[in-house]
Chains A and B, each alone.
Chain A
Amino acid sequence: MTGTINIDGQNIPFEEGQTIIEAATAAGVYIPHLCHQPGYTPHGSCKLCTVKVNGRNCSACTFPAADGQTVINNSDEQQLDRRRITQMLFVEGNHFCPSCEKSGNCQLQGVAYHLNMLDNHYPHFFENREMDASHPDILIDHNRCIFCNLCVRASQEKDGKNVFGIAGRGINKRLIVNSPSGQLQDSQIDVNDCAAHICPTGAILIKRTGYQVPIGQRIYDHKDISEVALAQENDNGQD
């Protein structure tokens, strides 16, 4: 089935099997997202990509495009809701952008800029979260994990391993490592694995690379995430 969907007044073609976000991206329409990445099984958990499809809220990254759908992506109300969801992610973890080596390259930060998020709005949880610096080349800072599941999927789907998992329930969710000690150094991860590079925030970092590009010259210091995401994701889509 192919056909056309209408996003914010713009007619957009789609191909059989495409989700709304895939059709939108191909047509150059940005829908904010964090847990979605082309080429990975859709997850649908961050809910930033929530759009109104024929009046009903749906996750654009999991919902199939179907002929004649009317999709609202960019209303003021939706941008406010997305800002609130982003703020939730900020207060849930411990995100101190000025001292984070990912600052400027962080998608969470990029989305926050895009949504004009100027404060955290909600009270902070100040959860005590740990770091795992055991691996010689890779660092996990759990303070910055947003449970997008991308590292879990990358390890399974791209690296053919099972290095990561998400455990816990509710607000006690946590990223865990598949190794006898629970530490990254005892896992099968390799510094060249997709899972080591996919993290949209600064939760999984490659050691000794943090400041190779100076702050001020990084991706979202100059470009809006909408522009960056569309360019990257359309590139990847053509691989």
Chain B
Amino acid sequence: MKTFLTTILTDADYQPVRLLSLLRKIQSHYQHIPAEAIDILADALHIPRTQIIAVVEFYSFLHLTPQGRYDILISDSITDHMLDKENLLGYLSSMLKVKLGEVRSDGLVSLNNTSCTGMCDQGPAGLVNGLPLTRLDRPKIDEIAALIAQQRPVSEWPSHLFTVNDNIHKAGLLLDTPIEKGAAIKSAFSRGLPATLEELDRSGLRGRGGAGFKTATKWRFCAEEAAEQHYVVCNADEGEPGTFKDRVLLNSHANQVFEGMTLAAAIIGAKQGFLYLRGEYLHLYGKLQSVLQQRRSAGLLGNNILDLGLDFDIEICLGAGAYICGEESALIESLEGKPGIPRNRPPYPVTSGYLNQPTVVNNVETFLAAALIAVQGGDWFAGFGTEKSAGSKILSICGDCAHPGIYEYPFGITIEQILTDCGASDVLGVQIGGPSGTFISNKEFKRQLAFEDLATGGSFIIFNNSRNVLEIVQNFTHFFAHESCGFCTPCRVGTALLKKQLDKILDGHGSSGDVVELESLCQLVKSHSHCGLGQTAANPILTTLQRYPDLYAKRLKTISYEPGFDLDGALAIARRMAHRNDAGAHLSQVED
């Protein structure tokens, strides 16, 4: 183990900020993080053992106990459920002879659920040793089971199991306007960097991750901060269930994304950039590294870029299964080799970000758009969309429609038009912006996609009338409880309580006061949580309670009070101990 660790530590230049990447390598090599490795790392990196354990326990893909040599994770997104995920999971579990959440006794295979893997247009999806499995069905599961039985290394598995398609069905402003490599950098320098920032300002571009902060303002704030270093970070931690557009952009337009980052570096004065790639997109890592290498060879990265006196390079950092790292300050913590816990703000990252230096963090799509704006000019971009929402938005459309995939529209497009284009019929409602966004009913399809009406980071999940709203809400509510970082009380305890309270109602143990209680708990979690995760975790319940109060009411018992637990179920252990199962050993929930 010492030799292996020395090798990877040398590669990481003994930098404690690279802890997450080191742990990923150890996990992949030993299927867990052995105690001995923790001691060696603590010693070599001069960091406390507690920090390493905290990181291992924080990220879903790292483990203190061994996982199987074939570690299989099945995506638990609502869209996977809609594609019969539960049955397939049962089949997989029986074929592999391993229970969900367990490691098979021979240590060969482990099976678990994982949060949305970003393959919602080609699910049911999963990961084997970090690589994506798509369009899972019974024949594929048979094939996988056979490959595991033969103990064939994953690298030798047939490629059709791992096929990932872009599925671009509608290209618009961004996807239809390719630029030459280096064009954005050249335009920016020939126009002048301050003038280019002006163009970006005039374009009206707002952050594409969903929050919509004006990009030019962010870059200007960062540029104005005097500091030793400035950093550019591309947020490719696309974790919002139902979103996958950044995967497609990085697969097919990585050059332009890197170009946007280089542009930002020139404007804010950064020498170093990071692409924070969610762990679920491991399959893109090699390809992106080679794009970076090509750009270095072409003089588009490295020292003295295009002889313009600009020095800048980009490092790719992989996440390890934590939705919260999509929050910019949590992402920065993660880049620094720590658990992804959002920071207190102020200070904001533009003032004090990576290593407490001024840092610009933007979404993949924002950098893509910025590069194009540098070439085409601000007015060109501002000519599309609405007054407050300039340009276009790339959507990840999935769920109940004929053609799930990528669609790009100018802002202001109606939901109705989108539904027509992607072949959705008999629609019950649409989840706009993922679980943290808004559920809209079929009475609201005249509404528009725009920051001033329905804002979105790109997730667009369609549900037809065969779907059960409350099951959707339950999936989302469990997701947030699972992904809460646990830093602040209202989110740590509150999301777990929301899960309990919703389950209580859905399990038929709710009475009239329980919906009122659910709603007031939602408001508390929303108003008091530390970051966007907690502040939006109650949205699935709140937006559906508002639209479908009857659905909740129907699940309630008519009595005014119902205990929060299953009275008879609580006696099960006592019955087992007493070897009784007669009528007298059972209790009814209430006096009839």
Take A84-B524, A167-B53 as given contacts and tell me if A172 and B486 are in contact as well, using a CB distance cutoff of 8 Å. yes
Contact A88 B530 (CB under 8 A): no
Q: Which of A62, A81, A167, A180 contacts B57 (CB 8 A)?
A: A167
Q: Does A169 contact B (CB under 8 A)?
A: yes
| A-facing residues in B483-507 (Cβ within 8 Å) | 483-490, 492-497, 500
| A-facing residues in B316-333 (Cβ within 8 Å) | 322
- The smallest C-beta distance from A168 to any residue of chain B, in angstroms, reads 5
**Chain A: which residue is nearest B50 at the CB level?**
A165
Contact A180 B39 (CB under 8 A): yes
Binding site for A on B (CB under 8 A): 39, 48-51, 53-54, 56-58, 322, 339, 344, 346, 481-490, 492-497, 500, 524, 527-530, 564-565
Total CB contacts across the A-B interface at under 8 A: 111
Measured between beta carbons, the chain A residues less than 8 angstroms from B48 are 162, 165, 178
Contact B527 A166 (CB under 8 A): no
Identify 24 residue pairs between A and B in the complex whose beta-carbon atoms are under 8 Å apart, listed by A's number: A47-B490, A47-B529, A50-B528, A57-B528, A85-B489, A85-B524, A88-B489, A88-B493, A89-B489, A89-B493, A123-B497, A125-B496, A162-B48, A165-B48, A165-B54, A166-B54, A168-B54, A169-B322, A169-B484, A170-B483, A172-B486, A173-B486, A176-B54, A177-B50
Contact B39 A170 (CB under 8 A): no
Take A57-B527, A180-B39 as given contacts and tell me if A169 and B486 are in contact as well, using a CB distance cutoff of 8 Å. yes
Q: Which of A63, A85, A125, A170 contacts B485 (CB 8 A)?
A: A170
| B-facing residues in A158-202 (Cβ within 8 Å) | 162, 164-173, 176-180
- The smallest C-beta distance from A156 to any residue of chain B, in angstroms, reads 9
Contact B344 A44 (CB under 8 A): yes
Take A57-B527, A165-B54, A171-B486 as given contacts and tell me if A178 and B481 are in contact as well, using a CB distance cutoff of 8 Å. no
Take A44-B344, A45-B530, A57-B527 as given contacts and tell me if A88 and B53 are in contact as well, using a CB distance cutoff of 8 Å. no
Contact B51 A81 (CB under 8 A): no
Interface size on A, residues (CB 8 A): 40
Q: How far is the CA of A88 from the CA of B527 in the complex (A)?
A: 15
Take A62-B344, A64-B346, A167-B54 as given contacts and tell me if A81 and B524 are in contact as well, using a CB distance cutoff of 8 Å. yes
Q: Which of A85, A167, A169, A172 contacts B490 (CB 8 A)?
A: A85
Binding site for B on A (CB under 8 A): 42, 44-48, 50, 57, 59, 62-64, 81, 84-85, 88-89, 91-92, 122-123, 125, 146-147, 162, 164-173, 176-180
Measured between beta carbons, the chain A residues less than 8 angstroms from B492 are 92, 147, 170-171, 173
Measured between beta carbons, the chain A residues less than 8 angstroms from B487 are 45
4 A-B pairs with least C-beta separation: A165-B50, A88-B493, A162-B48, A170-B484
- The smallest C-beta distance from B557 to any residue of chain A, in angstroms, reads 17
Q: How far is the CA of A48 from the CA of B489 in the complex (A)?
A: 9
**Chain A: which residue is nearest B54 at the CB level?**
A167
Take A59-B344, A167-B58, A170-B496 as given contacts and tell me if A176 and B50 are in contact as well, using a CB distance cutoff of 8 Å. yes
**Chain B: which residue is nearest A165 at the CB level?**
B50
Take A165-B54, A171-B493 as given contacts and tell me if A81 and B530 are in contact as well, using a CB distance cutoff of 8 Å. no
Could you say which of B481, B524, B565 has the most chain A C-beta atoms within 10 Å of its C-beta? B524
Could you say which of B346, B527, B565 has the most chain A C-beta atoms within 10 Å of its C-beta? B527
Q: How far is the CA of A220 from the CA of B295 in the complex (A)?
A: 66
Contact B497 A167 (CB under 8 A): no
- The smallest C-beta distance from B563 to any residue of chain A, in angstroms, reads 10
Could you say which of B481, B489, B494, B564 has the most chain A C-beta atoms within 10 Å of its C-beta? B489
Measured between beta carbons, the chain A residues less than 8 angstroms from B481 are 170-171
Given pairs A89-B489, A167-B54, 14 additional interface contacts (CB within 8 A)? A42-B344, A44-B530, A88-B489, A88-B490, A88-B493, A92-B492, A122-B497, A166-B54, A167-B57, A168-B58, A170-B482, A170-B492, A176-B54, A178-B49
Q: How far is the CA of A165 from the CA of B49 in the complex (A)?
A: 9
**Chain B: which residue is nearest A122 at the CB level?**
B497
Contact B57 A88 (CB under 8 A): no
Contact B482 A45 (CB under 8 A): no
**Chain A: which residue is nearest B495 at the CB level?**
A170
Contact B488 A46 (CB under 8 A): yes
- The smallest C-beta distance from A127 to any residue of chain B, in angstroms, reads 10
Q: How far is the CA of A42 from the CA of B322 in the complex (A)?
A: 25
